[in-house]
Chain A
Amino acid sequence: MRPPFARVVVDREVADLRFTREFLDRVGSAVPVEILGPGAPPPRGRTTVHLTREPGRFLKPCPCSPGVVRCGYWVLSPAFQCPFACAYCFLRFYAPDEPLTLYANLADAEAELRDALARWPGPVRLGTGEFADSLALDPWTRHARWLRNLVALHPRVLLELKTKSDRIEGVLEDGPAPNVVLAWSVNPPSRIRTDEPGTAPLERRLAAAAEAVRVGFRVAFHFDPVILEGGWRAAYAGVVEAIFDAVPPERVAWISLGTLRFPRRFLERWGPALRGRTAFFGEQVAGEDGKLRYFWPLRRDAYRFLAGQIRRRTGPGLRLYLCMETPAMWQAALGCGPELEGDVERWLAVPFRGAGC
């Protein structure tokens, strides 16, 4: 498999760490490798892998936004930056020229996670997909295997590996893990073609999901960002149909819904380049957290529509949640809402049963 990067730059201080050696072994002679001395300027650009040390914390709670239902998600970040170039991705705004950064001091991450595991009282959902795609580089990083081994003895931790790729071989080869969920962000095929360059097409994502289910994994899907443009209803209804034609509802751990949102500064910085891309110039208005979101009734109606389409195929039991939305929106769109912080977490992490939201 051809790597999605053109060179590897290794900080001298991490050159002898185990992760670095194994990563370079897997890459082999496919791309040139450079060693970076102390004080040298770090590399730039998303076609370069930079192996370095994470000087700060690996594990952070999802920051969510003020006023929204907090998801309680914990993010472990052994990597930063994504080889894909999705038009709406916040990384495009915050880190347009950062390299594909891989932190080689994974022993520090393990120690942090062990400390957290001792502190966390209840079920916890843990993911790596906030600042990087969980599986896009997995054939070379083998992060998935490392993570599943880390959480294997902690059944109350539910590890979610979220991706837009179909690179699941490394996850499947060790067989199913009850506390690992493979998740895919989904959008209509036409949207994937125009706005998610480099990612796997929908049919390949769903084929990978079907294969994961066949092996014994539970899977999840994220309709995020939902973009309300043109014939979006028919397009998203088609995605729902395709999902449940590929996987049985009882193997779907959860589905999240989130509409397109971005900071105002995104448009000021990228607006001229997005000229003619009507998706970015819909009726998005500033919310309480300063982010631009679709006008409230448009979002509510979109969530109601998608929830209706999903429940038509799954019945009421499937766990459906909204990303970065207020309790009022949960109530208006789904007819229910977790009242307390952490409810979402407990509700998603407990074994599948009965009615859901």
Chain B
Amino acid sequence: MVGTDRIETVELSRLRAEPDRYSFSWPSADERARLEQSLARAGVLRPLWARPEGDGFVVLAGARRAAALRAQGAAVAPVRVTEVRGPALWDRLLDDHTDHRPWNAVEVGLYLVRRQADTGEPLEALTKGVFPRLGLAPRIGAAAGPLWFAALPPRHRDAAAGGRLPVAAARVLGDLPEAEAVAILDWLGRWRLGGNRFAELARLALECAWRRGRDVGAWLRDEGLDRWAGDPQALRQELRRRRYPTLVGWEGRFARVSAEIPVPEGVRVEAPQHFEGGRLRCVVTFGSLAELKGRLDRVYRAVEEGAWAPLAEFLG
């Protein structure tokens, strides 16, 4: 506790929450459930935090706990009462949160939004002192992702806070019209995807839709992909087939041709990504120099006899 702060027992009826003003805490659904269980079992272990205003108090931290206590029929709660305002208050709220829970991206974004609205500080002014304490690099662009997560509808904030929405989502969807971003989040939110997979599926769908001049939500419905019953890997194949028909055709033909030509044991023929460069790779695995020679001889004979000629179409 700092300066003039004091602990009082306050009637819950005198506490007024202003969640859009001060609250930036956004625990995951699991954490919220644990919090309610803890309150029911052990009561308030950590005082709420409030400031006198009028004949009552405005809750600065703990609005969710106050609501849970009310729901459980409690009448009073321990409250840390402070008179501090402005940036100093927000610095303390930051430290208080850091002392008790790790930050998630939604909370970082909400903190910045609420702090700016309350103090009028420009975002630039927060980069050096505040950003690093929030785990951000000290440059303004570092806040783009958290601010985007904080602006999402609550169900998607929950997904982000719960780790079901990868950080990459902000990078891929951050510049999109909100409706398209939400359509992608609704669509991919049913799976727990890594950042790369999420980004790839989102880009494929968006680019297919944009090519057709459509909104991605409408395009997914048109194509019957909005309720995809298969797994994400099969969905990826389906989207790639639509986005890159020639490339996927080449991949299929290459798979067939390379399976049909006689390839000695311990030898593999591979194409580079996207067949770039007009080159193929021949990978030979060997455990001795004699084995290497034998396998290379068999490759050499196959090439000499023209058995590998079908590969020519994939070369420069």
Contact = CB atoms under 8 A, between A and B. Distances in A.
B211 A283 contact: no
B274 A295 contact: yes
Contacts, number: 75
Interface string B273-302: 111111100000000000000000000000
Interface stretch (B17-25, B140-148, B169-177): B169-177
A271 B207 contact: yes
Given A278-B211, A285-B244, A328-B316, A272 B180 contact: yes
Contacts of A268: 171-172, 174-175, 203
Contact of B316 (A276, A287, A331): A331
B210 A283 contact: no
A285 B274 contact: yes
Given A271-B210, A272-B210, A285-B247, A296 B175 contact: no
Nearest to B247: A295
Nearest to B171: A268
Interface string B187-215: 00000000000000001001111111110
A274 B211 CA distance: 8
A239 to B, nearest CB: 24
- Sort A-B residue pairs by CB-CB distance and give the 7 closest, nearest first: A276-B213, A332-B316, A281-B211, A285-B274, A328-B277, A275-B210, A295-B247
Interface in A331-345: 331-332
Contacts of A274: 210
A247 interface: no
B263 to A, nearest CB: 23
7 contacts: A268-B171, A268-B172, A275-B213, A281-B211, A285-B274, A328-B278, A331-B316
B279 A328 contact: yes
A269 B316 contact: no
A332 B244 contact: no
Interface of B: 171-172, 174-177, 180, 203, 206-214, 243-247, 250, 273-279, 316
A253 B274 CA distance: 34
A285 B143 CA distance: 29
A283 B15 CA distance: 60
B272 to A, nearest CB: 9
Interface string A238-276: 000000000000000000000000000001110110111
Interface of A: 267-269, 271-272, 274-276, 278, 280-281, 283, 285-288, 295-298, 300, 326, 328-329, 331-332
A18 to B, nearest CB: 38
A166 B11 CA distance: 80
Contacts of B203: 267-268
A268 B199 CA distance: 11
A329 B176 CA distance: 35
Contacts of A287: 274, 276
Given A272-B177, A332-B316, A281 B276 contact: no
Contacts of B180: 272
Contacts of A298: 246
A271 B204 CA distance: 12
B210 A295 contact: no
A326 to B, nearest CB: 6
Nearest to A267: B207
A277 to B, nearest CB: 8
B236 to A, nearest CB: 14
Contact of B246 (A267, A283, A332): A283
A287 B278 CA distance: 13
A296 B207 contact: no
A215 B206 CA distance: 51
> Taking each of A280, A283, A295, A296, which has the highest tally of chain B beta carbons within 10 Å of its own beta carbon?
A296
B230 to A, nearest CB: 24
A276 B250 CA distance: 26
Given A275-B210, A276-B213, A281-B211, A296 B246 contact: no
Nearest to B173: A268
A8 to B, nearest CB: 30
A287 B272 CA distance: 11
B254 to A, nearest CB: 11
B244 A283 contact: yes
A295 B248 CA distance: 11
A285 B244 CA distance: 9
Contacts of B206: 271
A296 B274 CA distance: 7
Given A269-B175, A296-B278, A281 B247 contact: no
A269 B176 CA distance: 8
A287 B273 CA distance: 9
Nearest to A330: B316
Nearest to B215: A275
Nearest to A279: B211
Contacts of A297: 246, 250, 275, 278
Nearest to A270: B175
Contacts of B247: 283, 285, 295
B199 to A, nearest CB: 10
A329 B274 CA distance: 14
